[in-house]
Homo-oligomer: A and B are copies of this chain.
Amino acid sequence: MKSPLISLLLAGSLVAPVWADRASTEPIQPIEPHEVTEPEKVELGKKLFFEPRLSASGFISCNSCHNLSRGGSDNLPTSIGHNWQEGPINSPTVLNSSMSVAQFWDGRAADLREQAGGPIANPMEMAFSHLLTIDVLQSIPEYRQMFADIYGTEKIDIDQVTDAIAAFEETLVTPNSRFDQWLKGDDDALTANELAGYETFKSIGCTACHNGPAAGGTSFQRMGVVEPYVTDNPAEGRVAITGEDADRFNFKVPTLRNVELTYPYFHDGAYWELEKVVDVMARLQLGRKLSDEDINNMTAFLKTLTGDQPDFILPNLPPSTNDTPRPRPFD
C-alpha cells in the first residue's frame, strides 16, 4: 500500500499538474484572465465601445467592425465604413489585442489608447471628429457623471475617451482554450491529431513569428518571404509608417488566438478557409509544401486556440438630450 503522503502527492498532481514546465518551454504561453483594477472605467469603456454616437451616422460603433459576438471581428474581407465605403484592409480582432507590440496592421498606433482615436475620426470608418465626440458625450448627463467619477473633472476630453475604451479592450482576453489547458498540463486537452498539428507548426517554423501568449502580435514580418503574396490590395504595410524600403510588405503578425472565429484571413481578407491559409503560409513564408494530413492536423491545432469569449451584460447607453448633436447618416 502507498503511504498517505504519497497518495496525497499523487492526488495533488492530478489537480495541479506540472504546467510551469510546458509554459516555460513552449513558444506559446497560456493567456491569463485579466484582472480588472478599475471596474468603473471598464464599464464606461464598454459603453463607449458599443456607442454609435461616436460616428457621424450614429450607426457605427467600435463593435460594428470588432464584433464581440464574433471573435472581435466583422468576418468581412474588409470593413463597411461610413456611407458603406469599402475599407482598405481587414479589421483585426480586438480580442487579446492588448498583447500586440503595436496596433493596426502597419503598427501606426503604439497602443490601444492611440488606436481607439483613429477609427472615430477616419472618414472611411466612423467619419466623425474628436471635437464632435466630446460635444456628444458632454451633452449627456450620465456620461458627464461617469467621466467625472473616473477622471475627476466635468470636462471630458478625447484622451479620457480612448483611455476608457482601451481599459475595456484590455479585459478582452480569451483564456482557457484547449491549447492553454494542454499547456497547463492537461494531456487530454488535445487530440493526437491536434498535437501532431502543433508539432508540425513548431517544426516547420511557424513559431518564429507566431509566438508569445497571443501566438502573434510580437513582431512585424514580410508577407511573402519565399514567394510573393499575390493580392490586388494596395496596402504596403509598415513602409507607410517608417519610410524604410525594407519595411515594404511588412505587416504586424496577426494573433492566432481564436483564429477559428476571425475569418477571412490575411490583411486583405482574401482567404476564408483555414486549410488554405495553412497551405499558403507554409509555401510563401517557409517554402514548404505540406501534405493534406499535415494541413488538416495544423488546422485542427489552430482551432484549439479558441478561448473563453467575452462574457458580459450588453451595455445600456444613456439617452441623448435636446442638446446632443444629432447624427447625420445621409449628409
Contact = CB atoms under 8 A, between A and B. Distances in A.
A219 interface: no
A168 to B, nearest CB: 13
A273 interface: yes
A314 interface: yes
Nearest to A86: B330
Identical copies of this chain, number:
2
Interface string A54-98: 000111000010011111001110001001101000000000000
A68 B86 CA distance: 27
A48 to B, nearest CB: 11
Given A69-B317, A311-B313, A76 B50 contact: no
B314 A76 contact: no
A196 interface: no
B317 A314 contact: no
Contacts of A70: 52, 317, 319
Contact of A314 (B80, B84, B273, B313): B313
Contact of A69 (B275, B316, B322): B316
Interface of A is mostly: loop
Contact of A261 (B57, B71, B319, B327): B319
B86 A84 contact: no
22 contacts: A52-B70, A52-B74, A58-B75, A58-B76, A59-B64, A59-B74, A59-B76, A69-B314, A69-B315, A69-B316, A75-B327, A76-B327, A76-B329, A83-B84, A84-B329, A263-B320, A272-B320, A272-B322, A275-B322, A312-B314, A313-B314, A314-B314
